[in-house]
Amino acid sequence: MSRLKKPADLKKLKKEAVARRGAKKTWLAVCTGTGCRAYGAEPLADSFEGEIARRGIADTVGVRRTGCHGFCERGPLVVIQPEDTCYLGAKPKNVPDIIDRLTTGEGNVEKLLYLDEANGERLSRLEQIPFYKHQKRILLENNVLIDPSDILDYIAVGGYSALAKVLAGMAPEDVLKEVTDANLRGRGGGGFPAGWKWETTRDAPEEPKYVIVNADEGDPGAYMDRSILEGNPHSVLEGLIIGAYTIGASQGFIYVRQEYPLARKHAERALDQAREYGLLGRNILGTDFSFDVKIHRGAGAFVSGESSALMCAIEGHVGEPRPKYIHTSEKGLWGKPSCLNNVETWANVPHIINHGAEWFGRMGTEKSKGTKIFSLVGKVKNTGLVEVPMGITLRDIIFKIGGGVPKGKKFKAVQTGGPSGGVIPESLLDLPVDFDELTKVGSMMGSGGMIVMDENTCMVDTARYYTNFLAHESCGKCVPCREGLRQTLEILNRIAAGRGKEGDLALLEELGEFMEAASLCALGQSAPFPVLSTLKYFRKEYEEHIREKRCAAGVCTELIAYVIDQEKCTACGACFRNCPVDAINKSKDKVFTIIQEKCIKCGACYTACPDKFSAVVKVPATTMQKQSAGAATLHETKA
């Protein structure tokens, strides 16, 4: 391990790193991101290594444990390079077969390839698969190529060249101009231009200055920041070092959620390795510029992702926001100028420096440039992380990349922006995705969670879910947020339980307006959006809940009841065995019924009932009350 003494040394090191990668003819890139680990990617990688060693072909074939590839729905993912053959859902038992094909060169293991449902064709290469084909992967591209725990892998694919370029001859002003010209906007949600933020901190009179990576990804249903930090931590670090150089900071922080242990581990390792090579610490690349980074673990508080709250947390206090009459870029951490950007924002910086602002500007819409990573989740066929150019339509993301809604259900809405965002109905699906367009329709870009909802998702329940989340996470410092959320939740709970009143909806709207106008921080100001947007586009559903006491989607538990359709029931006993509270009655003639008084509506029987029978059905609770003994009536029909 030799410290790099001048920017030009990096080129030599890159040559060595490339040669080292080239020593093996074939690489098996096994995704070991958190998603694929859950599917058992680690044992899979182990068995690949074992098989390769057993056959004595370790000289030509290597296994690389990479970060998240994105196509989480079909994990564990294996990509064979350089051919880019993509195997989905491989198990350790498939390993000998895969290696056989590899060594003999005879075709691929067909059953593990992507099946194009339209024409029954098997697609072998990564870029042929529709999920990848329609993306524009810039930040995520290297995730498939590198081992995140090895700095040389990152250097081999061109890593740290942007830093070398900056330190070799760019003045801080030049870097700032490049980032400002590129119009890079904050990927954490607000979309505030990063260049302006950098400049404010740079021009602030006080010293020292700090730079901070916000990896407190709190939005439920979003995990792109984690995947970057896990899969390519050096790209974030490189962006941060360039930012520190431009701003004139000598100390940086990475604030990472405690729920992301792997991301923390990889980031820590990245820091150690960067220090070893002289890319971090004193006199970076032999220049006068010194800079170091500390990792701070968050302890689980959504509001701590807000910039001023996050800085409080780093100081060791309770992570509560403060009024920002003076921005944190001027008076932040310990009252000093502090520039905070999201993981994805920092990761964009090296690309902008390498390729120029003009290249960056070619992607996206007029006011939103570059690409954006979304986590496409919920009721969608291809769950995963997708990186697309700004301006692509929601329809393209959900249907072309995501493959639409599974099980032939009907698409209902898509929720963007996490708890601060709103729902977007089908009529607006052709909307181009960028910061301003999404805000116009009552939602927002947010950090990039995109939750697809189908006909079985209840909008009242969705609004209730987010309000409940926010009421729990509100720090309680300002009244509009604390009380506004509590009252909103109360009303929504009532509506969901079938005790809604006329006038509730108007009250919800009034509360929403008040919170938006009077809350202290963005959490409270945007808290009513889930309620307001569902009210705007799905008012009818609310009215059904209030007037007819009916939840058409069958979600609000107090408005539904589970019954067994006696015509369809074959008495297989699956529901009986799975019921946690013994609410299923097995009568002598082997016909099952649900004892409504005992039922806790956990849906275990509904899930357990085999699809081919679908005998357990949800019915509106009101019908049960009318028939007084609904189960018995159905029973009698059979008898």
Partner 1 sequence: MHASNQVAQRRSTTFPLDVLIIDGDKGFTRNCVKTIESSAYTVVGANTAQAGLAVAETSHPRVVIVDWNTPGGNGLEILKSLAEREPTAVPVVVTANATVDAAVEAMKHGAFDFLAKPVDSEKLLETVRRGLDLSSLRKEAAGAEAETDASKKYDLLLQGLDVLGEAYSMGIEKKQLLDELTFLENEAKYHAESLGQIKKKERVILDIRNDLAEVDAILRKYDFQKNSLIQVLLDVQESFRWLPRHILNWISGRLNIPIREIYVIANFYEAFSLAPRGRHTIHVCTGTACHVRGASETLTRISSTLGIAAGETDKDQEFTLETVHCIGCCALAPVVQIDKQYYRDPSKKELEKIIKTLKQEKEEPCLA
The residues that touch partner 1, with contacts defined as CB under 8 A, are: 34-35, 37-39, 72-73, 75, 218-223, 226-227, 258-260, 296-302, 313-320, 375, 377-379, 383-384, 415, 418, 449, 451, 453, 457, 462, 465-466, 469, 475, 557, 577-581, 600-604, 607-608
Least Cβ distance, residue 578 to partner 1 (angstroms)? 5
Q: What single-letter amino acid sits at 197? A: K
| DSSP codes, 28-79 | EEEE-SHHHHHTTHHHHHHHHHHHHHHHT-TTTEEEEEES--S-GGGPSEEE
* Alpha carbon distance 398, 451 (integer Å): 10
Q: Give the C-alpha separation, 459 to 464, whole Å.
A: 8
Least CB distance to partner 1 at residue 34 (A): 6
Non-local CB neighbours of 587 within 8 Å, separated by 6+ positions:
593, 635
Output 581 or 632, the one with its CB closest to partner 1. Answer: 581
Question: Cβ closer to partner 1: 68 or 170?
Answer: 68
User: Looking at beta carbons only, is 39 or 435 nearer to partner 1?
Assistant: 39
Measured CA to CA in angstroms, residue 572 lies from 569, 614, 618 at distances of: 8, 12, 19
Least Å distance between CB 103 and partner 1? 32
Least separation in angstroms between CB 114 and partner 1: 15
For the bound state, the minimum distance from the C-beta of residue 628 to partner 1, rounded and expressed in Å, comes to 25
CB 284 within 8 A of CB 167: yes
Helices (H), 338-478: 343-355, 357-361, 394-395, 435-440, 459-473
Structure tokens at 406: 């599974």
Residue 79 identity (one-letter amino acid): V
Tell me whether residue 4 or residue 267 sits nearer to partner 1 (CB atom).
267
Kindly tell me which of 187 and 197 has the beta carbon lying closer to partner 1: 187
Instruction: Identify any residues that bridge with 27 across adjacent strands, giving them in sequence order.
Output: 62, 81
Rank residues 220 and 391 by Cβ distance to partner 1 and give the closer one: 220
Nearer to partner 1, 246 or 474 (CB): 474
Tell me how far apart the alpha carbons of residues 69 and 83 are, in angstroms, rounded to a whole number.
Answer: 16
Q: What's the sign of the alpha-carbon dihedral 42, 47, 52, 54?
A: positive
Q: Of the two residues 24 and 494, which places its CB atom closer to partner 1 in the complex?
A: 494
Distance CA 522, CA 420 (A): 8
121-to-76, 126, 135 alpha-carbon distances in Å:
21, 14, 21
